[in-house]
Chains A and B, each alone.
Chain A
């Protein structure tokens, strides 16, 4: 009873974060914000999948593959941003 509620709350919070970053991206057109929005949307979907799949379900493992991809996306976004700053862009 409590666990799906925690998962649902986390999903809602991640999606809200994603929408904030989407707004920043629309305002500034800074790709960093776009990547952040995408990552937090992925984490939101992750929390939903975590709530829907049974604990013993073998597909549960793929949740963490998606999560790994989301983290790699952030690392790429930071690298991309640093490169742009070094080039004098921004």
Chain B
């Protein structure tokens, strides 16, 4: 069950990233670009989550890379909101 949630997290965040980046290509709205990049980071974060908790043995811990990709995604969006959108 947990594995299914991790996979679905990765797939839905990837779908969000693709849809937002496609919308950015169509409309050239910069806010959509930053949101799309943020969700691309979250997709990477969720893939790492699956690899860490399901694929890799417990001896290998990817908690810090997961924290960093999550934080980086948030910071990318915040940068876009502060410099581009307002």
Contacts and interface: CB of A to CB of B under 8 A. Distances in A.
Given A16-B78, A74-B39, A68 B8 contact: yes
A7 B67 contact: yes
B22 to A, nearest CB: 10
Contacts, number: 69
Given A71-B9, A78-B16, A10 B49 contact: no
B32 to A, nearest CB: 10
Contacts of B2: 61, 64
Chain A interface mostly helix, strand, loop or mixed? Answer: helix
B56 interface: no
- Residue among A40, A47, A68 with max Cβ neighbours from chain B (10 Å): A68
Interface string A49-80: 00000010000010011011001101100100
A68 B71 contact: no
Given A17-B74, A64-B6, A78 B19 contact: yes
A36 B19 CA distance: 14
Given A36-B35, A71-B16, A78 B5 contact: no
Contact of A75 (B16, B49, B68, B74): B16
B85 interface: yes
Interface of B: 2, 5-6, 8-9, 12-13, 15-16, 19-20, 23, 35, 39, 42, 46, 49, 63-64, 67-68, 70-71, 74-75, 77-78, 81, 85-86
